Amino acid sequence: MLQFNMSEFMERMSQTKKSMYEKGIDVLLITDPANMNYLSGYDGWSFYVDQMLVVIADENQPIWIGRKMDAKAAQLTTWLYQENIIPYPEDHVQSNQKHPMDFVAKILTQIGQSNRRIGTEMSSYYFSALAYEKLRVNLPNAIFSDASLLVNYVRIIKSDQEIDYMKKAAKIAELGMDMAVSSIQEGVRECDVAANIYHSLISGTTEYGGDYPSIVPLLPAGENTSTPHLTWTDRKYTNNELVIIELAGCHKRYHSPMSRTVSLGKPTEEATEAASVLVEGINSVIEFVRPGVTCEEVEKVWNDIISKYGIVKESRIGYSIGMSYPPDWGERTLSIRKGDLTILQPNMTFHLMPALWFDNYGIEISESIRVTGNGCEALADYKRELIIKDQLHIAL
């Protein structure tokens, strides 16, 4: 079930250990499921309980430690030897008497790692304060340090195989967007549109299927478009309102997000003008992006465009994307904003998301992009405009 060849896994391990050495870390405890997958191939919906991948600087293979009932999943999806898959007993799951980190500390002690320099992913969604305290109490001779995003930064430049998965995810996103646009009609319930989107995203194409995206489809309508992170209700769409669609195709856990805005009926002059500014800004950014420029310089191109129209946007306009698990499809590393001086390199990938939200409405048009050898490409091929549907539900 491995999605990459062994040489790619070995290169990922090498780059991770190099970063560990630079940060003075002997043992890295990885709890982010995307990072676990990236280094081992492990893929299961088990991240709601404690689990980790242990990378030891002077050992060839990492160690998977997780719930006993998930050990078989580790055998099926990873390249690890059987002896490097170590399950903790079921009585450690959500117990007030035993904690999985008690077991982890016991294993680290048994294999001679209890007094080393241990890095933990402190900012991981999947590593609790209690887990950290249990490790500290059980490993009093270890020196702990924050290794948040260490592997995430190894992941920012994609391999050709990863780019292939993201392009397939982009094709799935196109199908999902087509389904959303055709489904949104006056009198249709928002939840029914969401159901249609999910069917399309998971069915994928006839050649390859889709995976579950790390964020649900976001579908604010009417005044709700003035804020980005609302999902759907069971209300029915009405004529003369805007609907934002933000979704992502997902293939082999690799994501390609995309946003568009639909106007049911004739849009207001304000919405039309805002969409025009948004498209002008996106086109200018895509034309500008290339290896050697910084994230900050990319943001300035966008800001120079909107400033001409008296528009101010404080939030970032993009972020690094790739492999991910809920609750976020971003890599939580690079941001296209003022102050991020990261120099772009080929095969970095971003969700370019320079949306505009106002007091009573908002417009979203976004693209997933890849930095190429001499420029930039959008991963999907979808009309970049405010999509207008008349009362007969015909896309104009």
Q: What is the CATH number of the domain that holds 90?
A: 3.40.350.10
Q: What is the pLDDT of residues 73-98, one digit of tens each?
A: 999 999 999 999 999 999 999 999 99
Residues 209 and 137 both lie in one domain: no
150-179: average pLDDT = 98
Task: Give the integer Cα–Cα distance in Å for 13 and 40.
Answer: 9
Other Cβ atoms less than 10 A from the Cβ of 160: the count is: 8
Task: Give the integer Cα–Cα distance in Å for 130 and 164.
Answer: 39
Predicted confidence at residue 79, as pLDDT, reads: 98
Task: Give the integer Cα–Cα distance in Å for 242 and 362.
Answer: 8
Q: Are 194 and 219 a contacting pair, CB within 8 Å? A: yes
**Residue 371 lies in domain:** 160-395
Predicted confidence at residue 395, as pLDDT, reads: 43
Predicted confidence at residue 390, as pLDDT, reads: 78
Residues 171 and 228 both lie in one domain: yes
130-145: average pLDDT = 98
Total structural domains in the chain? 2
Residue finishing a domain among 124, 154, 184 = 154
User: Which residues touch 251 (CB under 8 Å, ≥6 apart)?
Assistant: 165, 166, 168, 169, 172, 204, 208, 209, 210, 211
pTM of the model: 0.96
Predicted confidence at residue 116, as pLDDT, reads: 98
Q: What is the pLDDT of residues 31-60, one digit of tens each?
A: 999 999 999 999 999 999 999 999 999 999
The answer to whether residue 188 sits within a structural domain is yes
The answer to whether residue 1 sits within a structural domain is no
123-140: average pLDDT = 98
289-300: average pLDDT = 98
Residues 147 and 175 both lie in one domain: no
The answer to whether residue 83 sits within a structural domain is yes
Residues 136 and 180 both lie in one domain: no
Q: What is the pLDDT of residues 8-35, one digit of tens each?
A: 999 999 999 999 999 999 999 999 999 9
Residues 166 and 100 both lie in one domain: no
Residues 208 and 91 both lie in one domain: no
Amino acid code (one letter) for 261: T
Task: Give the integer Cα–Cα distance in Å for 33 and 78.
Answer: 13
> Does residue 291 register a pLDDT over 70?
yes
Predicted confidence at residue 312, as pLDDT, reads: 93
Residues 124 and 246 both lie in one domain: no
The answer to whether residue 289 sits within a structural domain is yes
Predicted confidence at residue 391, as pLDDT, reads: 54
Other Cβ atoms less than 10 A from the Cβ of 372: the count is: 15
Task: Give the integer Cα–Cα distance in Å for 378 and 282.
Answer: 11
Q: In the structure, what pLDDT confidence band is assigned to residue 1 with cuts at 50, 70 and 90?
A: confident
The answer to whether residue 278 sits within a structural domain is yes
Q: What is the pLDDT of residues 219-275, one digit of tens each?
A: 999 999 999 999 999 999 999 999 999 999 999 999 999 999 999 999 999 999 999
User: Comparing C-alpha atoms, which of 10, 20, 62, 70 is closest to residue 43?
Assistant: 70
> Does residue 125 register a pLDDT over 80?
yes
Q: What is the β-pairing status of strands 376-378 and 356-357?
A: unpaired
3-state secondary structure of 101: helix
Q: In the structure, what pLDDT confidence band is assigned to residue 342 with cuts at 50, 70 and 90?
A: very high
- What percentage of the chain carries pLDDT values higher than 90? 98
**Angle between helices 33-40 and 6-22 in degrees, nearest 10:** 120
162-170: average pLDDT = 98
> Does residue 393 register a pLDDT over 90?
no
Q: The domain spanning residue 354 has which CATH number?
A: 3.90.230.10
Residues 140 and 46 both lie in one domain: yes
> Does residue 392 register a pLDDT over 80?
no
Predicted confidence at residue 394, as pLDDT, reads: 45
